[in-house]
Amino acid sequence: MFHCVIIIITTIIWSFHVGANTENKSLIYFPMSLTSRLESNFIREYNETFSFTDFISPSNALSSCAHSQQAELFVSRMASFISYSSEFNSLIGYKPEIKLIASRPVSVPFAHEGGAFVPTTNEVWFTVNQLPIQNTNPSIITPNGANYFDDSVYICSQGNQTTSGGIYAVNPTTLVSRLVVNSWFGLRLNSPNDVTFTRKIGGGKYMWFTDPQVAYMQDFGSSPQLGSYVYRFDLTTSELRPVITDLVVPNGIAFDLNETTLYVSDTAPSSYGHGTFMVYAYDLNKHGLPINRHVFSVSSAGIPDGIKVDKMGRVWTGEGDGINVRDHHGTLLGVILGRDLCQSGVISNFAIVGNLVIILAQEKVWQLKLTTSVL
């Protein structure tokens, strides 16, 4: 049985045991047609979720169908889960329960990124990059994404004005960290954001990571020397190779369990509040390099950040409205809404452990129990 003992990389070690503050949450089903055909004039602010789409025609001018749609949208504003499929209903259950594991004041958003399950210690590791206290030795500057591979937790460091971004491997028992990579032929990495691993591709073990210019964009990193690339690092030979060079802000990264499809999110902002809020899918050629890029999904609210792929090929993505779950074709199955889980409603990342989803909700951490094991 998994007990959630949580390690926070950027502060002292806190441990929380699952079991307190169980809440029943409501699930609402929407037909997919509601997302694409509304029977009245309407408006929705881009920073709001679909449920907060408003009909702007006078009530007495609405058709019976429009009244019905308006009622569905109003009811969904109180829901915690939006389902678009029977598959999501079966996955979440009709009376889903969610447990609050940990909570801090809104001013202390301690659970932001990472979401790496460590089976050897039965822990979930996660990070927040703006707290000053470290618990690794040596400390890791502005940590971000995290993943577990071959007995180590790999942490993305975004660096700062003087120290290059890089990736560190941490012993989960001793908390001793070692530098894995921070340079491409003497040029500084930007701010590694997320990391994943493969062991079936090309007969070797590879570490894949995104390296956007986020530290520079957010004014805590130095001027970039490299583009915003996705890299493949050979864990045997230490060759670091840019393999995707045409994204604007590569962010989340994950493989399916067969290691035949690579998913990468691109999260470029724009002055209009929009951007390239997409997840792309790539095939791999015989040399283990990404090819055949195609759009897998586009976020309807906020950016797609952390990505996890379960054993059925479903792709789970932390987005501006919560955790979106899609099938392997990219069809949206349902959403675990974030608005009741933290003040901002934004879920950047999470962990999946068997039939549990550990939700990193900024100032809170939640556990959702699924009806079946998915990873």
Averaged pLDDT score across all residues of the chain: 89
Q: Would the pLDDT of 138 be above 50?
A: yes
Share of the chain above pLDDT 90, in %: 72
Q: Two tokens at 188?
A: 């500084």
DSSP 59: G
Distance from C-alpha of 299 to C-alpha of 134, rounded to nearest angstrom: 33
DSSP 78: T
Cα-to-chain-centroid distance, residue 345: 13
Give the model confidence (pLDDT) of 274-310 as tens digits: 566 899 999 999 999 999 999 999 999 888 999 999 9
pLDDT of amino acid 24: 58
Q: Would the pLDDT of 3 be above 50?
A: no
Strands 356-361 and 349-353: antiparallel
CA distances, 303 to each of 229, 307, 321 (Å): 18, 12, 9
Distance from C-alpha of 375 to C-alpha of 372, rounded to nearest angstrom: 9
- SS3 category, 338: coil
Band the pLDDT of 245: cuts 50, 70, 90: very high
Are 226 and 209 contacting, i.e. CB atoms less than 8 angstroms apart? no
Nearest alpha carbon to residue 96 among 325, 344, 346 = 325
pLDDT of amino acid 18: 38
DSSP string, 138-162: S--SSEEEEEEETTEEEEEE---SS
pLDDT of amino acid 321: 93
CA distances, 368 to each of 76, 93, 106, 158, 353 (Å): 19, 11, 21, 30, 10
What backbone torsions phi and psi does residue 87 show, to the nearest 5 degrees?
Answer: -65, -40
Q: Would the pLDDT of 174 be above 60?
A: yes
Give the model confidence (pLDDT) of 323-361 as tens digits: 999 999 999 999 999 998 999 898 999 999 999 999 999
Strands 262-266 and 250-255: antiparallel
Range 175-190 average pLDDT: 97
Are 70 and 62 contacting, i.e. CB atoms less than 8 angstroms apart? yes
β-partners of residue 42 are 55
Vertex 92: Cα angle to 346 and 49 (nearest 5) = 30
β-partners of residue 360 are 349, 365
CA distances, 300 to each of 50, 275, 293 (Å): 8, 11, 21
Give the model confidence (pLDDT) of 62-110 as tens digits: 999 999 999 999 999 999 999 999 999 999 998 898 999 999 888 888 8
> Where are the domains positioned within the chain?
62-369
Nearest alpha carbon to residue 369 among 103, 18, 126 = 18
Of 46 and 307, the structure prediction assigns the larger pLDDT to 307
pLDDT of amino acid 65: 95
Distance from C-alpha of 75 to C-alpha of 92, rounded to nearest angstrom: 19
Give the model confidence (pLDDT) of 203-224 as tens digits: 899 999 999 999 888 888 899 9
Distance from C-alpha of 121 to C-alpha of 229, rounded to nearest angstrom: 33
Cα Rg of the chain (Å, integer): 21
Helix residue ranges, H only, 137-263: 214-217
- SS3 category, 31: coil
* CATH of span 62-369: 2.120.10.30
Which residues, at least 6 apart from 49, have a Cβ–Cβ distance to it below 8 Å? 301, 320, 321, 337, 339, 345
Q: Would the pLDDT of 5 be above 50?
A: no
Give the model confidence (pLDDT) of 18-44 as tens digits: 344 556 579 999 999 999 999 999 999
Nearest alpha carbon to residue 5 among 24, 19, 21 = 19
pTM of the model: 0.93
Range 139-156 average pLDDT: 94
Distance from C-alpha of 114 to C-alpha of 193, rounded to nearest angstrom: 10
